[in-house]
Structure 1
Amino acid sequence: MSEGLRERKKRQTRQRISEAALGLFVARGFDRVTIAEVAAAAEVSVNTLYNYFEAKEDLVLPPDEASPQRLADIVRARQPGESAARAVLGRLRDELRRHDRKVGLTAGFGPVFAMMRAAPTLTARLEDLGRQMTDALTAVLAEETGAAPGDRTPCVIAGQIGWFHSLVYGEIGRRIEAGEQPAAIAEALLELLDVVEETLSERALGYAIREG
């Protein structure tokens, strides 16, 4: 289905606001830029901006891209015969090979990452996002495996998946700050994921395999 005129205009406005915000945040720092200044730079009203982004932090971490359901959604979409952990490992490998923006490997992301690291509200949101991802994944694993209320296995498995997911992002950030190029970062992280897979127990790698 082709994109209609109204949808295209909304997408273009959203993109214009996002680009204006990131430009200002990188140049001056997240905390030093007001919503009114972003709106003016994007040539929209403050009310219009809030129609697209409910909070200032959403301009950097939009919910549709930085979703608390990310890990849960990956696991829900896994293929028959695939476990929860292997589904997430596979998705991360795919995103690394494609230099996907979801893992921060797009050109020019270095200054954006540095800006995010310098903003306490953004780092706090990222930490909270990680916890929400793990909690959502725990709920999915418990439901799909029929775990008893006192069974902590879904929580432990979700915690391990959340750990290596966060490990990947942390290592990408460290390498971006060191000035490494996306291709080199992707190669190094693919090797890291191999180590992660070799290190995880068979119980973790084989948990919640989707039936065919």
Structure 2
Amino acid sequence: MSEVLDRRARKKAQTRALIRETAQALFAARGFEAVTIVDIATAADVAVQTVFNHFSTKEELFFDGHIPWVDGPATAVRARTPGVAPLTALHAHLTDRVGAYVRSLATPEGRSFAMTLEASPALRAHERELHHESINLLAEALLEAWQADGGVPPLASDPRTAASVTAAVWLAAVRTLVREQRLGLTESAGVSSADPEAGVAVARTVADQVLSGLVSAMSAPPERSVPPESRLRRTG
């Protein structure tokens, strides 16, 4: 019985991989909007319903296998080495992510994926949805980590808000860095294939500086505000 189940699972995984690879090749060749589910089913030699059995939308098909970044930040916080602060683990993970993304843009597959994504409003909208999902997952992980460690997060009087704001700001910064690299491809810039590691090093340095700045800003004590009437008395 277990052999039969294993065989079915392998066949299911093989069919899913075939559909994904076929679809992504068609998207790269024709553009996302020009390809239909019928086109994908025909090229993969499967029924249309078989495609829907594995993927509910074309957007899901496009991104399948390309979105470890959605739960990656939350996983980095939860799986951090004992004694490592949540933001330290997050900082290291996001810096690595930016470097890996820039490295992928030096490959034909990575460039094709990025350019197809940037050319499609539907894909960019779906990417934004995935980005918000990543923020929510990271916020939950940060809140759990701060509560478990007994540490004092920023805005300590409201840890839940602190976690949500931190997740939103940090991931927005990284998304901006990543998208700038992607936009460079459409302007015939991008990463030099002759020395991709040089571009990776620069991107990692920029990411590290940006995230270090966020850490410093969150650690600094808030400035005391001076009432307007007090300022008037001082200058008058």
Q: 1:108 to 1:91 in 2, by over 3 A?
A: same
What's the % identity of the aligned pairs? 30
Measured after TM superposition, the shift of residue 34 of structure 1 is: 0.7
Q: 1:106 to 1:119 in 2, by over 3 A?
A: same
Q: 1:201 to 1:54 in 2, by over 3 A?
A: same
**TM-score, scaled to structure 2:** 0.71
**Equivalent residue pairs, number:** 202
How far, CA to CA, are the matches of 2:45 and 2:162 in structure 1? 51
Tell me the amino acid that sits aligned with residue 69 of structure 1. Answer: D
Matched, 1:193 2:207: yes
| Structure with more helix by fraction | 2
C-alpha root-mean-square deviation of aligned residues, in Å? 3.1
Partner of 1:29: 31
**1:43-192 to 2 correspondences below 5 Å:** 43-62=45-64, 65=67, 68-95=70-97, 99=100, 106-146=107-147, 152-177=161-186, 178-180=189-191, 181=193, 182-192=196-206
Which structure has the larger Rg over C-alpha atoms?
Answer: 2
Q: 1:100 to 1:43 in 2, by over 3 A?
A: farther
Q: 1:150 to 1:184 in 2, by over 3 A?
A: closer
How far, CA to CA, are the matches of 1:32 and 1:80 in structure 2? 49
How far, CA to CA, are the matches of 2:208 and 2:173 in structure 1? 11
CA contact (8 A) 2:170 2:211 kept: no
Q: Which structure has more RCO (C-alpha within 8 Å, separation ≥ 6)?
A: 1
Q: 1:201 to 1:49 in 2, by over 3 A?
A: same
Gaps of 5+ in 1: 206-212
Measured after TM superposition, the shift of residue 140 of structure 1 is: 2.6
Measured after TM superposition, the shift of residue 175 of structure 1 is: 3.8
How far, CA to CA, are the matches of 1:55 and 1:26 in structure 2? 17
